[in-house]
């Protein structure tokens, strides 16, 4: 919060990763921080040198609130010991219903940082501290409130993954020895490769754009299935731009299929236009539908097992699917992000080299 | 000069820092006020629900002979294929109904709930009706207690607060200091349809049922505190949605979850007038 400026400005930070609020309103002694993308808000009242109040949003069963207290200052930058830092293979959930995750912990200038990776991407930057072998890190992006707590015991982590106040999922993690733990992102979703990959959706001017459009003919095409509401898609945009600028001159095209919140072309169109301008995206973005994985799969019947936003579908020069990459490891994942970027560059080069 | 400060959020689950505890009363009042407003005005308020039906092989809507008669609407059909739910109108036009999302096609609002393959369609008319009200807050019915792990794994099909059929897992038992020697209650870990999350719930009966509260019982959520204990605040006891509208199926009382005392806390019940 910048309390020295008029009007008041504030950002929501997870470590050094900060996002602005959509609006800040002051009513009497209450400050309301709006997060319009998530239909959520934080109402806070100053009490001494703290802010107290509640975060609230509206779900299917009515409004939900989570009380909070905010203290002035920063978390102490508590470095974690070598017993915790590094990469861990985790299993979340009860014994007979476990799902894999990868946890990574590192010390940053702001304190202990962490990431949680699943088969379809990461949960963003976690930030917190450690006390000996015990640790606690949180992530709050305006919509999801996550906290991961645990302790290193005999070389393994026993912990709990908290989602909001309600959900606590126990997990156990052991140190990664470099073996694969998650399903490879290229094996989550598959496609019919016997025919060209078909799509036909309106662009932002309402013109129907299809896979037969002359701009895609004979080109290597990356179809980016995304939504402006999706944090991993926001993370992916700069990497996709890098790819486009590096290879467009060699016959590489990109088309983004936007699956948005309302399904109303006017409202969704505004969000997509803002996204296009924010990142300076030069390729067409088409309004494909609403952000429901089942509905997305229904509009793209050649895909099997669609589960993640974003999903990148790579087409060769004949228009057939050569590879599908589900999810995206954002900058918070460090080496995974760097590795993914290098892998995407290599793969586009490989496709371009095919005649 | 720019001065910056970072908001350090502390989740408050029962063990609130000193000073914040004093906010409990106003926090509860704010929650109740927001919920009452939602009940009386939201398009997807249970007070506005006019029908709820499993989609199964398809549901017809509109004329009196259809599965869900809706005056001034249709005929239309709602069907599910590979998890995607579509409403097909009289003009043959398809409209997707995303899971959990309200879609208004005047004068009705439609919402698909539940898991893929066992989806449920809820239809809402005009929002309205009075919220049932609450008992005055009582700090004496807010308990932080231990959760006793179950002796063995047990899964059961139960209905959620909003009448969705889910497979829940017995999370254990906790004992609250109500009744002559305390009352031991089952706690179920219930999946939240459409998410990867779960919640801990107790569906219980007490001596107020049918004497101020809903006859079949009420739900109270259990939250884990930072100290590893569990918070049960009966001031936050809620009605199942079948208390607002008979279109919702009502959860069967959980065997043994009966508090002998009158728990005069949380949400009350206003019986429906016949024909309403």
Q: Is A292 in contact with B98 (Cβ distance < 8 A)?
A: yes
Same domain, A61 and A111: no
The complex's ipTM? 0.71
Instruction: Parse chain B into domains and list their residue ranges.
Output: 4-42+130-243, 46-124
pLDDT for A76: 62
Is A180 part of any domain?
no
**CATH number for the domain harbouring residue A151:** 2.40.128.120
- Domain of A307, CATH number, reads 3.40.30.10
Q: Which of A175, A207, A234 is the last residue of a domain?
A: A175
Hey, are the CB atoms on B12 and A67 less than 8 Å from each other? yes
Q: Quick check: is A6 in a domain?
A: no
Q: Do both A338 and A219 map to the same domain?
A: yes
A325 shares a domain with A287? yes
Q: Which residue has the higher pLDDT, A31 or A294?
A: A31
Q: Is the pLDDT of residue B235 over 90?
A: yes
**A322 lies in the same domain as A207:** yes
For residue A79, being part of any structural domain is answered with no
Of B5, B6, B99, the CB nearest to A294: B99
Cβ–Cβ gap A56/B34 under 8 Å: yes
Is it the case that residue A166 has pLDDT exceeding 90?
no
- Residues A164, A146 share a domain: yes
Whole-number pLDDT of residue A199: 94
Mean pLDDT of chain B: 84
Instruction: Verify whether the Cβ–Cβ distance B34 to A65 is below 8 Å.
Output: yes
Residues of A in contact with B100 (CB under 8 A): 60
Mean pLDDT score, A123-137:
88
pLDDT confidence bin for A1, thresholds 50/70/90: low
Residue A38: predicted pLDDT: 67
* A13 vs B6, B10, B11: nearest CB: B6
Q: How high is the pLDDT of residue B15?
A: 38
Mean pLDDT of A35-50: 82
pLDDT of residue B3: 26
A1 within some domain:
no
Are residues A90 and A64 part of one domain? no
Could you tell me if residue A322 is inside a domain? yes
Number of domains in chain A: 3
Position A275 in a domain: yes
Express each pLDDT in B205-216 by its tens digit: 999 998 899 988
- Specify whether A115 is located in the same domain as A233: no
Domain containing residue A312: 185-353
Q: Is the pLDDT of residue A220 over 90?
A: yes
Q: Which residue of B has its CA nearest to A264?
A: B103
**Which of A69-83, A292-306, B140-154 is the most confident on average?**
B140-154
Of A2, A47, A140, the CB nearest to B2: A2
pLDDT digits (tens, 9 = 90+) for A330-354: 887 777 889 899 999 999 999 999 8
Note whether A296 and A346 are same-domain residues. Answer: yes
Does B59 have pLDDT greater than 90? Answer: yes
pLDDT in tens, A252-281: 999 999 988 777 788 888 889 989 998 999
- Find, in chain B, the residue whose alpha carbon is nearest to that of A299: B84
In the prediction, which pLDDT does B257 show? 94
Same-domain check for residues A243 and A318: yes
Element housing B8 (H / E): strand B8-11
Same domain, A189 and A230: yes
- Mean of pLDDT values over B82-97: 84
Shared domain for A196 and A325, answered yes or no, is yes
Does the beta-carbon distance from A167 to B197 stay under 8 Å?
yes
Q: Is the pLDDT of residue A4 over 60?
A: no
Per-residue pLDDT tens digits for B163-173: 988 889 999 99
Are A207 and A250 members of one domain?
yes
């Amino acid at each position: 919060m910048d309390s020295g400026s008029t009007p008041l400005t504030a950002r929501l930070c997870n470590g050094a990763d900060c996002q602005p609020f959509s609006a800040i309103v002051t009513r009497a002694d209450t400050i309301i921080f709006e997060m319009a993308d998530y239909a959520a808000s934080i109402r806070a009242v100053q009490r001494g040198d703290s802010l107290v109040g509640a975060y609230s949003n509206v779900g299917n069963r009515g409004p939900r609130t989570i009380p909070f207290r905010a203290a002035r200052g920063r978390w102490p930058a508590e470095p974690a010991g070598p017993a915790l830092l590094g990469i861990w293979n985790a299993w979340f959930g009860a014994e007979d219903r476990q799902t894999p995750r990868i946890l990574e912990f590192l010390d940053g200038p702001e304190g202990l940082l962490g990431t949680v990776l699943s088969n379809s991407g990461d949960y963003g930057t976690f930030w917190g501290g450690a006390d000996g072998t015990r640790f606690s890190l949180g992530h709050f992006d305006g919509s999801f409130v996550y906290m991961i707590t645990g302790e290193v015991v005999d070389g393994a982590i026993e912990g709990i993954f908290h989602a909001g106040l309600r959900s606590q999922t126990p997990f156990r993690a052991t140190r990664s020895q470099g073996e694969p733990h998650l399903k490879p992102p290229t094996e989550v979703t598959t496609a019919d490769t016997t025919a060209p990959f078909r799509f036909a959706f309106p662009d932002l001017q309402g013109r129907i754009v299809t896979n037969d459009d002359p701009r895609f003919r004979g080109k290597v095409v990356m179809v980016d299935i995304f939504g402006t509401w999706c944090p991993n898609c926001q993370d992916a945009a700069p990497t996709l731009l890098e790819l486009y600028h590096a290879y467009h001159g060699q016959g590489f095209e990109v088309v983004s299929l936007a699956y948005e919140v309302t399904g109303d072309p006017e409202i969704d169109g505004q969000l997509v236009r803002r996204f296009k301008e924010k990142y300076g995206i030069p390729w067409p973005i088409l309004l494909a539908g609403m952000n429901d994985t089942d509905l997305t799969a229904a509009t793209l019947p050649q895909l099997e097992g669609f589960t993640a936003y974003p999903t990148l579908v790579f087409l060769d020069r004949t228009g057939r699917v050569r590879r599908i990459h589900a999810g995206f490891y954002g900058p918070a994942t460090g080496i995974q992000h760097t590795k993914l970027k290098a892998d995407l560059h290599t793969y586009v080069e490989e496709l371009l080299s095919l005649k | 000069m720019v001065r910056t400060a970072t908001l350090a959020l502390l989740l408050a689950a029962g063990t609130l820092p000193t000073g914040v505890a004093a906010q409990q009363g106003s926090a509860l009042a704010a929650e109740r006020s927001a919920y009452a407003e939602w009940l009386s005005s939201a398009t997807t308020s249970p007070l506005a629900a006019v029908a709820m039906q499993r989609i199964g092989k398809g549901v017809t809507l509109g004329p009196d002979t259809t599965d869900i008669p809706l005056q001034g609407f249709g005929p239309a059909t709602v069907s599910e294929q590979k998890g995607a739910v579509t409403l097909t109108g009289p003009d043959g036009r398809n409209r997707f109904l995303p899971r959990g999302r309200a879609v208004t096609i005047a004068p009705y609002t439609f919402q698909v709930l539940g898991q893929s393959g066992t989806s449920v369609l809820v239809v809402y008319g005009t929002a309205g009706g009075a919220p049932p009200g609450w008992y005055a807050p009582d700090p004496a019915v807010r308990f932080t207690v231990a959760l006793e792990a179950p002796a063995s794994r047990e899964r059961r099909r139960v209905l959620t607060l909003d009448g969705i059929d889910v497979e829940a897992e017995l999370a254990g038992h906790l004992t609250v200091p109500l009744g002559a020697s305390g009352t031991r209650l089952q706690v179920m870990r219930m999946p939240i349809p459409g998410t990867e999350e779960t919640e801990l719930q107790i569906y219980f009966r007490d001596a107020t049922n049918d004497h101020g509260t809903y006859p079949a019982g009420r739900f109270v959520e259990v939250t884990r505190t930072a100290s590893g204990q569990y918070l049960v605040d009966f001031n936050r006891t809620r009605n199942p949605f079948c208390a607002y509208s008979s279109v919702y199926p009502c959860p069967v009382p959980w065997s043994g979850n009966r508090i002998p005392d009158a728990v005069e806390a949380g949400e009350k019940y206003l019986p429906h007038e016949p024909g309403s």
